[in-house]
Amino acid sequence: MATKAHDPCREKAADDEPIFTLRAQDISAPLVVLFWTAVQMQLSRALKVGVSPREALAAIESGLVNDKDLVFDLTNVKIGDALQCATQMAKWPTRKVAD
């Protein structure tokens, strides 16, 4: 999980690569992180059965993929980190609509 002091994602990004940062104080941040996690899991599942990433993403965007049976792969480090981050964000003491 990244913090202001250490953000490996920023270190990996190209100097001109767009990135988006969520803060724990943003009341919607945990939900956004959970949504990202669900999309990543759906993409992973689609790739395992031979669907291209673009096709899988298009299906998710159009609502054709149902996540009711989604099981989070906790062996995936990024997924585990994202779930931990969402949990910690939800516990952040000062939460408000993003400013």
Residues 20 and 92 sit within 8 Å (Cβ to Cβ): no
Predicted local distance difference test score (pLDDT) of residue 59: 81
Predicted local confidence at residue 68, as pLDDT: 59
pTM over 0.85: no
Q: CA 90 to CA 42: how far, in whole Å?
A: 23
Position 3 scores a pLDDT of 72
SS (H, E, C) 38-54: HHHHHHHHHHHCCCCHH
pLDDT digits (tens, 9 = 90+) for 30-88: 999 988 888 888 888 888 889 888 888 888 777 765 655 555 666 777 778 888 888 88
